Amino acid sequence: MIDFGLGALPYCSFSHNDGRRRLGVGAGTGIVDVDGLARRGAISSIDPRILTRGRLNPLLAAGRPVWEALHEELSVIIREHLDTAIPQDQTAMHLAWDVGDFVDFYSSRYHAENLGRLFRPDTDPLLPNWLHLPVGYHGRAGTVVVSGTPIRRPSGQRRTPDGEIAFGPSVRLDIELELGFVLGGPTKLGEPVPIAAAAEHLFGVVLVNDWSARDIQAWEYVPLGPFLGKSFATSVSAWVIPMQTLAAARIQGPAQTEPRPLSYLRTEEPWAFDLDLEIWMRPSGVDTSTRIATVNTAKAIYWNAAQQLAHLTVNGATVRPGDLFGSGTISGPVQSQSGSLLELTWAGRDPVDVGGTLRTFLEDGDEITLRGRAGGGDVPLGPVAGKVVSSRERQFQEETP
């Protein structure tokens, strides 16, 4: 159970006794039934029908003035309805919204440099475009799942160290710690969102674990990018933290002077977020979780959310209510601040000590939980939990042609 207090006001989609999905808002360690409040006429600031569909999408479509009005009203009336809050452990949590398109960026400089050092040791760790634009790509929206969903080990093709092509369960299953941004809209085809208008479309944040099969990815990704190595599952927190709640955590990010970004990517606004994120692992057969990494997002992320949104739409691509983008793996300058096992173990060469158990990549039964707190500690983020289950047995015997 997480204690959100009364100031965070995170949204969720939950079900309780009758199984019906309802929108809720976190209050202390309980959930206030926003759907029920709307049906009973207890919410007056916005059209109550926006709140009774069991998902955030109608609210995401309604736009920032509606988001602000609802947040303000909830911050007052939640106190009156605290006695009706349902304890978190008596609910089932669902994905809080239907995901439109899912874009994954690559915006942590330390992460990009780590991968460059690992895979292109004889060259500049950053590729030529990296400091000029937020590199990103589209992921699979249909396999974004809510925290707690078991993660089946994917099978696929890989090239073995001796150059053979093999098929079977991934042997390098990894995690990626990311910050995700849930978008509202819509916008019109052909009309970019200028960076000054980014706030109109950034609804809130989730934590993201973008599970990755490094062996599948390494073999498939040239020249069109990651595909099956990522598309089997992406876990997000059940709780969506609205931007209003994170206002106090907004600070200036890293300086961008060499090179200076092109004008469509320039902003003076403090679009970095001072968030402390953590990765916890409970190895298979072990009772306790161990924290294996911590990283602060403000220092680690080079391209901020407003820049990412401005870039994403500068070609005229639309934003739909429910679109999601991720920061990409967040890593800091020190190895223990890495957002992936690939970096924490330096591609498996240096196993990490998880409370006495050594790990390189994930084993069946391992459980990963991402957690975080906004700077100052008032607002919890996450959790994003997922346990690895074994691949399907007989069909996925190892095969070489």
| Candidates 81, 111, 201, 311; catalytic one | 111
Residue placing its CB nearer to a second copy in the complex, 28 or 136: 136
Residue partners of 182: CB distance under 8 A and separation at least 6:
56, 60, 97, 203, 204, 205, 206, 240, 322, 323, 324
129, 161, 285, 349: which one binds a second copy (CB under 8 A):
129
Report if residue 319 touches a second copy, rule: CB under 8 A.
yes
264-283 binders of a second copy (CB under 8 A): 264
Residue placing its CB nearer to a second copy in the complex, 63 or 194: 194
Pick the stretch among 62-70, 187-195, 290-298, 344-352 that binds a second copy (CB under 8 A): 187-195
Question: What does the block give as tokens for 55?
Answer: 């998902």
Mind giving me the DSSP string for 53-108? Answer: SSSSHHHHHH-HHHHHHHHHHHHHHTTTTGGGPEEGGGSEEE-SS----EEEE--B
Contact 250, 243 (CB under 8 A): no
Residue placing its CB nearer to a second copy in the complex, 123 or 288: 123
Residue placing its CB nearer to a second copy in the complex, 51 or 228: 228
Please work out the total of residues on this chain that contact a second copy, with binding judged by CB under 8 A. Answer: 70
CB of 383 vs a second copy, minimal distance in Å: 20
CB of 189 vs a second copy, minimal distance in Å: 7
Parallel, antiparallel, or unpaired for β 234-236 and 144-146? parallel
Contact 141, 233 (CB under 8 A): no
CB of 235 vs a second copy, minimal distance in Å: 11
Residue partners of 121: CB distance under 8 A and separation at least 6:
none
Cα 295 to Cα 153, 177, 300, 345, 373: the distances in Å are 26, 10, 7, 16, 11
1, 224, 349, 377: which one binds a second copy (CB under 8 A):
224
Report if residue 139 touches a second copy, rule: CB under 8 A.
yes
161, 189, 349, 394: which one binds a second copy (CB under 8 A):
189
3, 124, 191, 353: which one binds a second copy (CB under 8 A):
191
CB of 224 vs a second copy, minimal distance in Å: 4
Report if residue 24 touches a second copy, rule: CB under 8 A.
no
84, 117, 132, 288: which one binds a second copy (CB under 8 A):
132
Report if residue 226 touches a second copy, rule: CB under 8 A.
yes
CB of 264 vs a second copy, minimal distance in Å: 7
Write the DSSP symbol of residue 172: -
- Write the single-letter amino acid at 170: S
Residue partners of 336: CB distance under 8 A and separation at least 6:
293, 294, 344
Report if residue 184 touches a second copy, rule: CB under 8 A.
no
Q: Please tell me whether residue 143 adopts helix, strand or coil conformation.
A: helix
Q: What are phi and psi of 270, to 5 degrees?
A: -80, 90
Site string for a second copy, 194-223 (x = CB under 8 A): x------------------x--x--xxxxx
H/E segment holding residue 182 = strand 177-183
Report if residue 29 touches a second copy, rule: CB under 8 A.
no
Place of tokens 């809209």: 185
Tell me whether residue 16 is one of the annotated catalytic residues.
no
Residue partners of 5: CB distance under 8 A and separation at least 6:
28, 378
In 3D space, the residue among 137, 136, 129, 138 whose CA is nearest the CA of residue 262 turns out to be: 129
Site string for a second copy, 140-179 (x = CB under 8 A): xxxx-x---x--x-xxxx-x-----x-x------------
Give the C-alpha separation, 175 to 173, whole Å: 7
CB of 95 vs a second copy, minimal distance in Å: 12
Report if residue 118 touches a second copy, rule: CB under 8 A.
no
What residues act catalytically? 111
* Interacting residue ranges for a second copy, rule: CB under 8 A: 100-101, 103-104, 106, 127-129, 132-133, 135-143, 145, 149, 152, 154-157, 159, 165, 167, 189-192, 194, 213, 216, 219-229, 231-233, 259-264, 311-312, 314-320, 323, 392, 395, 399, 401
